[in-house]
Amino acid sequence: MYIQVRLITDKMNTRIKIIIAAMLLASTSFGQSLYETKKVHGTFINFAYQDERNKYMNPEDVDEMSPELWRLKIKELSDMGIEYVIIMYVANKDKSFYPSDFMPHAYPAGKESPVEAVMNAADENNMKVFMSTGWAHDQDDDPRLPEIRAIQIKIMHETASLFSKHKSFYGWYLPCEDVVGPYLSQNAVDAANSLTAEAKALTPNAKVLISPYGLKSANFNNSQFADQIAKLKVDIIAYQDEIGCVVEPTPLSHMKDNFKHLREVHDKTKIELWANDESFTWEKGLNVRPSALIPAPFPRFLSQLVGVTKAKVDEVISFAITGIYDKPDSKTPIGQPIYATKAYKEYMEWKDGEGRWPLLEASFYKNLKHDGISKPVTFINAASSMYPDGNLTDGNLGAEDNTDKNWLGFDRKDMIATIDLGANQKIENLAARFLSYKPKNIFLPTSVEFSISDDGKKFRTLKTVTMDQVPNDRYDCWIDISTADHLNETARFVRVYAINGIGQFILSDEIFVNPQY
């Protein structure tokens, strides 16, 4: 179809070509995304269970010292589009995961070490590895201490000697995860720069990456924030977006603004701006070690990716894909049972432009035009007095925040909304967006029924959609969408019947009739 149109229009002027292209896009069913949203191109990997947070990422019943395991997992990561492998640490509890001369080895004698297995597999799959300089002792290392830094330098010298000739060796990850808010301390700058100097002396062409946290408290209005960043000698800063850590009740909007500010700061430096988008949520307590990291709802993660893309970051990595997303039917499965493979499937569906994801993605970019905008809506049940302001046909979309006035809520009642289009017209696609936020007892509808009518009295059901009820929902606020596409109908009235079957409230911000994106 597209080849034929191109041949026909080659002789037309530019204006006509643009009009035809716009008509084609407007009539396209939900399909391949029209946006160049950044994909995840990097992930951190761990070599050992450290505490309950690693319960699924590094399960105790899996041999983490097995070179076969890491060759398999690196190949699986490559297959899903991961380019950068960031080794979190190459030693832990004073034992090494590589053939160190000054530490005892954590892996069995005579076997390929985990680090060697990763490097060799990365070579084979044309991937790039950031080698870690830690841990000197364990995950609680303080890199500002001279004795810690001395051991990190010894690790760096050994791993440079062993691995820098690999074609996959790309650079260094410095586990200097200091706080950037309100601005980076001079001690943190000095610690990172001293290790960077050592790295550049050993491997002049290697990139140096750090991944700090604390954006919630960053003071971009204070010139010291930009000044301290500019003092760093590193090549890449991959800021933790802190969405998985839920550093504030509904953090997505704030995060997106933070990365816009970071883009302005980095434009005045030569340091690349990367986003470290957190793909996880928490099984039990929030931000505590006795709580496992588990896959977050994919709609939340998709909004994170759109947010940092709009902020024009240079690259996206994630803590983590390894052990949060896991390839279905893997010979050695890791990750939360069922939901790690579910997260993988949904991510790959989105990458392939399948299902509801392209429309949801488009709605994160802007308010979408559609044939239902400004059309009258009638409701069988009255809206909640707590969420009375939303207008389902005004074209204005809400954010991941229940206080956003674009959300219309129904308290222990179903949402039954009928749109009068004014005259019979062709209907190809219908959709409705909803909010989920368990802490405020807001849940997605259990199902959404899309119906049409010529007279507003007798309705014919086109599709009933069961909405995905994500059990990993203790802390997050996210938006999902219900869709009925590939329709070929004509009607004047559209009805959306959303069943309130779980919590106290359901909230919606828009019903789409033939959305265009």
Say if CB 304 and CB 26 are below 8 A apart.
no
Q: Residue 493 sits in a domain of what CATH number?
A: 2.60.120.260
Residue 476 lies in a domain: yes
With 80 as the cut, is the pLDDT of residue 360 above it? yes
- Residues 382 and 424 grouped into a single domain: yes
Residue 29 lies in a domain: no
Q: CB pairs under 8 A, 24+ apart, for 302-305?
A: 302/37, 302/350, 302/357, 302/360, 302/361, 302/364, 303/252, 303/364, 303/400, 303/478, 303/479, 304/241, 304/243, 304/252, 304/255, 304/275, 304/277, 304/278, 305/37, 305/38, 305/39, 305/40, 305/277
- Residues 347 and 381 grouped into a single domain: no
With 60 as the cut, is the pLDDT of residue 352 above it? yes
* Euclidean distance between CA atoms 11 and 105, whole angstroms: 69
Q: Which tokens hold the place of 184?
A: 């980076």
- Residues 469 and 393 grouped into a single domain: yes
pLDDT for 400 equals: 98
Q: Which of 311, 346, 361 is the last residue of a domain?
A: 361
pLDDT in tens, 264-299: 999 999 999 999 999 999 999 999 999 999 999 999
Residue 20 lies in a domain: no
pLDDT for 130 equals: 98
Q: Residue 199 sits in a domain of what CATH number?
A: 3.20.20.80
- Cα dist from 293 to 58, 243, 281, whole Å: 11, 13, 6
- Cα dist from 345 to 219, 294, 363, whole Å: 38, 15, 21
Q: Which of 361, 376, 397 is the last residue of a domain?
A: 361
* Euclidean distance between CA atoms 430 and 93, whole angstroms: 56
- Domain residue limits at 232: 42-361
Residues 6+ apart with CB under 8 A from 45: 70, 73, 85, 86, 87, 88, 118, 320, 322
pLDDT in tens, 297-309: 999 999 999 999 9
Q: Is residue 337 reached through a cis peptide bond, with omega within 30 degrees of 0 on the bond before it?
A: no
Greatest extent of the chain over all pairs of C-alpha atoms, in Å: 82
- Residues 51 and 195 grouped into a single domain: yes
- Residues 395 and 337 grouped into a single domain: no
pTM flag (> 0.75): yes
The mean predicted confidence, pLDDT, of the chain is: 93
Say if CB 308 and CB 241 are below 8 A apart.
yes
* Euclidean distance between CA atoms 401 and 177, whole angstroms: 29
DSSP string, 475-489: S-EEEEEEEE-S--E
Say if CB 359 and CB 483 are below 8 A apart.
yes
Q: Which tokens hold the place of 143?
A: 């890199």
Residue 93: which region, alpha, beta or left (left: phi > 0; alpha: psi -120 to 50)? left
- Residues 129 and 243 grouped into a single domain: yes
Say if CB 457 and CB 510 are below 8 A apart.
no
* Euclidean distance between CA atoms 420 and 453, whole angstroms: 10
- Residues 183 and 259 grouped into a single domain: yes
Q: Which of 361, 378, 412 is the last residue of a domain?
A: 361
pLDDT for 223 equals: 98
pLDDT in tens, 81-138: 999 999 999 999 999 999 999 999 999 999 999 999 999 999 999 999 999 999 999 9
Burial group, residue 427, by CB count within 10 angstroms (0-12, 13-18, 19+): buried
Residue 453 lies in a domain: yes
pLDDT for 439 equals: 97
pLDDT in tens, 38-63: 999 999 999 999 999 999 999 999 99
pLDDT for 19 equals: 36
pLDDT for 30 equals: 55
> How would you label 52-80 residue by residue, b for 16+ Cβ within 10 Å and e otherwise?
bbbbbbbbeeeebbbbebbbbbbebbbeb
* Euclidean distance between CA atoms 433 and 363, whole angstroms: 9
With 90 as the cut, is the pLDDT of residue 458 above it? yes
- For residue 377, the tally of other CB atoms under 10 A from its CB is 17
Could you give the percent of the chain with pLDDT greater than 70? 93
- Residues 238 and 161 grouped into a single domain: yes
- Residues 218 and 316 grouped into a single domain: yes
With 60 as the cut, is the pLDDT of residue 18 above it? no
- Residues 254 and 208 grouped into a single domain: yes
Residue 34 lies in a domain: no
* Euclidean distance between CA atoms 200 and 98, whole angstroms: 21
Confidence of residue 7 (pLDDT cuts 50, 70, 90): very low
- For residue 389, the tally of other CB atoms under 10 A from its CB is 11
- Cα dist from 203 to 59, 67, 169, 193, whole Å: 34, 26, 10, 15
